[in-house]
Structure 1
Amino acid sequence: MRKRGRAIGYLLLLLLLVSFPGCTLLEGEENILHYNLGPEPETLDPALAVGEPELTAILAAFEGLTRLAPGGEIVPGVARDWQVSPDGCTYTFYLREEARYCNGSPVQAEDFVYAWRRVLAPETASRYAYQLYYIKNAALYNSGQLTDPEQVGVRALDAHTLQVELEHPTGYFLSLVAFPTYFPVCREVVEADPEGWWLNPGTYVGNGPFKLEEWKGRQRLRFSRNENYWDAANVALAGLEFTLVEEPATELALFESGEMDLASHLPAGELARLAEEGRLEKVQDLAVSFYFINTTRTAPLANPLVRRALAQAIDRRELVTYVTGGGEEPALALVPPGITIGGKDFRREGGDYLVDGDAAGARRLLAEAGYPGGEGIPTLELLLPDSSEYRRLGEAIQEMWRRELGLDVTLVTREWQSFFSTMMEGDFDLAAVAWNADYLDPSSFLDVFLSGGGNNFTGWANSRYDELLAQARATLEPAARRELYHRAEELLLAEMPLIPLYFPVRHYLQVEDLKGVYFTPLGLVDFKGAVLSGQ
């Protein structure tokens, strides 16, 4: 691989290469884009993946009915065209006859039927199954109330025609089917090894721009261009190499040593320097950073007044100015700016629901809850991914809670996969999360907190909240739908099973000869159109 960027000292480079064998200098490779994925993926199964590392890798290897293009435009993917019925409840997709998996087998309508039913099957335990609830009878099948998958509103009319019947009109359905949970899978391959097909490059059969060639545990993923991809002529890269380094400072060092073409997980403490050097670029994600609150583990956190006190005591303006320092916006609600309904920005129309940095008010709430000065509240545990950025933010908030509320909070760090398993088991009091939109609608954030939802790790449930979201999904008139979503968000933040912190900005560095990488508004990185012009 050709060296790029500013060289660091030989000794530091040598130490990095020894510490991360997957980051060795690669000889004889041309037109291979090197990027750090971050933590090792928990899974590469589209039915089970939820995190950014997993979903970005899956986006390289698979393709759905549609794709998100720069500017948020919905463009054809496997589907060359589609029709929507006058009532907005039936979508008919016409698949490309030339669409193939990387093993050469055709992508057919029945593959989507199989994949979607598999996501919804209760035994799959997909945390994103609720994303398919827009499809007729999908929720009933996923809950076990309906046992016949044939009753789910998706069917293959022929090999290249897929028909989908929805519960109600859904204006953003075409962006939904661009998300990895909706991707097709090759039934023959999956059923041959349901638990392990995605672990072996030889059986990881996708239909996207790239195909997996190697997965070296905790070191790297290697992809090559999928010559059987229907649009392979417009894929310029010969391949991708994803390193698996969790620490942002190490990622930056690797980029500055010339071992990476693109770095998008950068240490906050270096942003000012990189900006001064004129190298730093940024893009606004549709995302929010927040803390889950486990409402079932300790008695104080079962009380909404205590949860609201924790949220109100945090000075978010101080955090984004002195801790994150990347131009982030304090989050005084859940849904970020940038999502429009009826031409109006949902966040700007709804305004704020929280008061920022109101320590006096937070102390009054604690006293009202029966814990004056924090007395009677045991030491709380804040669960964090094992990253310096999460630790710095956690330490700042830990100090705010100690200083303003008299609370003791212990920071508990876990490597990525252990963090997720600990959160899923409910073995935490608070847990740090960054949540990106999965599609372009407020429900992408609000649905996280549905009662019993696969990604609701708070233990909080509210039937009125569920009803408001169901009404919003079934409402066509934009102003009325927006109002229902606002009411749901207001209820959520009055109960406070989460603590919004800030709306993130994605900062990145790329080599001069790299063009065409697309940072989607969903927080994923799309490499299909990437070009390394210097190779």
Structure 2
Amino acid sequence: MKRLLTYIFTLLLVVAVVVGCTPQAAPTAAPTQPTQAQVPPTAAPTKAAAPTAAAGPVSFHYAFLDEPPGIDPTIFQGGTQSTIYAALYEGLVTSDEKGNIIPGAAASWDVSADGTQYTFHLRDGLKWSDGKALTAKDFQYAWLRALDPKTASNYSWFVEMFIKNGTPFAEGKVTAEEVGVKATDDKTLAVTLNNPAAYFLQALLAGVWLPVRQDMVEKDPAQWALNAATAISNGAFKLTEYKIGSYITAEKNPYYWDAANVHIDRLKFSFITDANTAYAAFVAGDVDGIAGVPSTELVKLLATDDRLHPYDQLRVSFLRLNTKSEGLSNPKVRRAINMGFDRKSYLEGLGNITSVPALGTVPSGLILDGKDFREVSGDNGLKATAQVEGARALLAEAGYPKGEGLPVYRLHCPDTMLKEAEIVQQMLLTNLGIKTEIKPVDTKLWFPMMVEGKYDIAFGGWGGDYVHPMTFLELFTSTAYDNATGWANAEYDGLINKARVATNEAEALDLMVKAEHILMNESPIVPILFPSGAIMMQKYVTNWFISPASTLYISPAVITK
């Protein structure tokens, strides 16, 4: 079993704020990854000429609506961190605005004919932000550190999923020399996978794969990433201060290989947890961008302010159903809840005018074999509105007509989501006769409660780690720690395992579509919505972009004020 799958809780937008990592158009599908050996371009595509930057030192100030629990890339992952990491670090590969994988620290790479071996060739002259040479050994150290149980990385599972002998190493059964990551020289990193994975390059965009400096980490393993003296990085910017609870500041990294195309000298990320306060700061011109807007302003801003940038997120929000609970152990009861859920009225009740009802687990825009997964998989027999008659018939077949005989279920929600819980509570009672008792829980205690099975029905969600349907479907395999529903289905596991190693995209698509159909028929979860968000950016900030994986890339931005 994977030791630790991090839970990425996705708020079921939106009562107080429409929030996002950063602005974007609707996600663009990732390009098809090669199924045979291929050497990508040795340099990023030629960049368009940037607007003329402002004279003198240029500053950029962006306000997040939350503060991450940490910014050690090996340990902490999340939407806010991804934007911070994109500014401070650079992995082997990076993304352009269309989601194409392009060279980052690696100038090129080779892939073996069977798709299990990748050889990355680093750029010449790479340096850390203190001027010391960056080598392939820095990547090897970072990946092994992620696998080390002592690190307690919440993404160790992600490295294990791909890298040969990653799990045995994490379990202490093999040595580091037997793990499938080796620096064969200062500029070459040889990687061996557990099996072919056409989406491996996409997966490398996650923060856990970023290089970190061993000597800096060992000076203060718990705090090194928060201190400017030890937070040595290899990206466009380097940390200058982190004031916990307030802000992060950074300055341009003169040793970054592409520093000539970085037009910002000083960078500030503030943490303003009240959306109204952040919006007021934006209106006053005190910040250049904000990562969300109050929902009360959304309709007006959509109609009148082109500084607002709505975007689709690579996420799904759902209800988890504990399959070990009385009644919920019956798939007909779970399917009845899925069919009887009125997604349209849920969104209307929240005033959410941007998100889309979810009739499956995989959002739109993920392309395999030239086809959108969501379109091929279809609606799974679900509708945006409740199918009350059919749902009640299923309950009756299960022996619970009109919900009679079912216990009063615990409906767990984060303590910030009482309105959402009240809508669900009334919906289940009205449509199905199912009674619930709302149980608010501190968000810090949220996922441990679910993993321990101390719930009946609970709000949940997942943010994709890479631009591929597998990032959503693997979550519900029987060995996935984050499944947290108690559901296990051997046929589902088999389809997912076959899709993981499929080298033909048409075959992989067919396998994953079949898997989603099983998941929705069994209904250990009830998909609710595919979240959309909106952020604001001042007009004088140009050339920034967000990838389809919802990461803001601010390093190419130009400030023209």
**1:30 Cα deviation (Å)?**
5.8
| Partners of 2:354 and 2:533 within 8 A in 1 | no
For 1:312, what is the secondary structure of its paired residue?
helix
For 1:311, what is the secondary structure of its paired residue?
helix
TM-score by length of 2: 0.82
Q: Which residue of 2 aligns with 1:286?
A: 314
Q: Which residue of 1 aligns with 2:165?
A: 137
| 1:179 equivalent in alignment to 2:206 | yes
Q: Which residue of 2 aligns with 1:528?
A: 555
Cα distance in structure 1, aligned partners of 2:515 and 2:353: 30
**1:515 Cα deviation (Å)?**
1.0
**1:513 Cα deviation (Å)?**
0.3
Cα distance in structure 2, aligned partners of 1:50 and 1:403: 39
Q: Which residue of 1 aligns with 2:388?
A: 359
| Partners of 1:324 and 1:393 within 8 A in 2 | no
| Partners of 1:127 and 1:454 within 8 A in 2 | no
| Partners of 1:384 and 1:419 within 8 A in 2 | yes
Cα distance in structure 1, aligned partners of 2:218 and 2:323: 39
TM-score by length of 1: 0.86
CA 1:47–1:367 in structure 2 vs 1: closer, same or farther (change >3 Å)?
farther
Partner residue of 1:46 out of 70, 73, 96 = 73
Q: Which residue of 2 aligns with 1:381?
A: 411
Cα distance in structure 2, aligned partners of 1:413 and 1:467: 35
For 1:243, what is the secondary structure of its paired residue?
strand
Partner residue of 2:259 out of 232, 239, 242 = 232
**1:471 Cα deviation (Å)?**
0.8
Cα distance in structure 2, aligned partners of 1:460 and 1:290: 15
Alignment of 1:116-515 (within 5 A): 116-132=143-159, 133-142=161-170, 144=171, 146-279=173-306, 280-296=308-324, 298-321=325-348, 323-356=350-383, 357-375=386-404, 376-384=406-414, 386=416, 390-406=417-433, 407-410=435-438, 412=440, 414-415=442-443, 417-419=444-446, 427-515=454-542
For 1:254, what is the secondary structure of its paired residue?
helix
Cα distance in structure 1, aligned partners of 2:69 and 2:558: 29
Q: What's the CA shift string for 1:440-476, capped at 9, x where partnerless?
A: 2111111222334343333433343332212111111
Cα distance in structure 1, aligned partners of 2:83 and 2:465: 12
For 2:438, what is the secondary structure of its paired residue?
strand
| Partners of 1:88 and 1:169 within 8 A in 2 | yes
- Greater Cα shift, 457-466 or 147-156: 457-466
Cα distance in structure 2, aligned partners of 1:268 and 1:130: 36
CA 1:175–1:491 in structure 2 vs 1: closer, same or farther (change >3 Å)?
same
CA 1:78–1:441 in structure 2 vs 1: closer, same or farther (change >3 Å)?
same
Q: What's the CA shift string for 1:323-376, capped at 9, x where partnerless?
A: 353332211000111111111111111111142311233333344444444444
**1:317 Cα deviation (Å)?**
2.3
Cα distance in structure 2, aligned partners of 1:31 and 1:209: 14
| Partners of 2:165 and 2:194 within 8 A in 1 | yes
Cα distance in structure 2, aligned partners of 1:423 and 1:106: 45
Partner residue of 1:69 out of 79, 96, 99 = 96
| Partners of 1:111 and 1:184 within 8 A in 2 | yes
CA 1:461–1:115 in structure 2 vs 1: closer, same or farther (change >3 Å)?
farther
**1:511 Cα deviation (Å)?**
0.8
**1:428 Cα deviation (Å)?**
4.2
Q: Which residue of 1 aligns with 2:127?
A: 100
Cα distance in structure 2, aligned partners of 1:377 and 1:84: 55
For 2:482, what is the secondary structure of its paired residue?
coil
Cα distance in structure 2, aligned partners of 1:128 and 1:491: 27
**1:426 Cα deviation (Å)?**
5.1
Amino acid of the structure 2 residue aligned with 1:363:
R
Aligned CA RMSD, in angstroms, stands at 2.6
CA 1:221–1:459 in structure 2 vs 1: closer, same or farther (change >3 Å)?
farther
> 1 or 2 for the larger relative contact order (CA 8 Å, sep ≥6)?
2
Q: What's the CA shift string for 1:100-127, capped at 9, x where partnerless?
A: 2223322211111111122223444434
Cα distance in structure 2, aligned partners of 1:464 and 1:378: 32
**1:401 Cα deviation (Å)?**
1.9
| Partners of 1:333 and 1:354 within 8 A in 2 | no
Amino acid of the structure 1 residue aligned with 2:551:
L
| Partners of 1:185 and 1:206 within 8 A in 2 | yes
| Partners of 1:130 and 1:454 within 8 A in 2 | no
| Partners of 1:383 and 1:428 within 8 A in 2 | no
In structure 2, the gaps of 5 or more residues are 1-55
CA 1:371–1:435 in structure 2 vs 1: closer, same or farther (change >3 Å)?
same
| Partners of 2:357 and 2:528 within 8 A in 1 | yes
Amino acid of the structure 1 residue aligned with 2:134:
V
For 1:440, what is the secondary structure of its paired residue?
coil
**1:162 Cα deviation (Å)?**
0.6
**1:418 Cα deviation (Å)?**
4.9
| 1:85 equivalent in alignment to 2:112 | yes
- Greater Cα shift, 502-511 or 287-296: 287-296
For 1:455, what is the secondary structure of its paired residue?
helix
Cα distance in structure 2, aligned partners of 1:169 and 1:269: 47
**1:155 Cα deviation (Å)?**
0.7
Cα distance in structure 2, aligned partners of 1:467 and 1:36: 44
Q: Which residue of 1 aligns with 2:25?
A: none
CA 1:128–1:458 in structure 2 vs 1: closer, same or farther (change >3 Å)?
farther
CA 1:395–1:230 in structure 2 vs 1: closer, same or farther (change >3 Å)?
farther
Amino acid of the structure 1 residue aligned with 2:516:
E
Q: Which residue of 1 aligns with 2:31?
A: none
Cα distance in structure 1, aligned partners of 2:255 and 2:231: 14
Q: What fraction of aligned residue pairs are identical, expressed as a percent?
A: 36
Q: How many positions carry a matched residue from both structures?
A: 500
Q: Which residue of 1 aligns with 2:27?
A: none
Amino acid of the structure 1 residue aligned with 2:313:
D
**1:56 Cα deviation (Å)?**
2.4
Amino acid of the structure 2 residue aligned with 1:507:
A
**1:80 Cα deviation (Å)?**
1.2
**1:185 Cα deviation (Å)?**
1.2
| Partners of 1:320 and 1:327 within 8 A in 2 | no
Amino acid of the structure 1 residue aligned with 2:264:
L
**1:385 Cα deviation (Å)?**
6.3
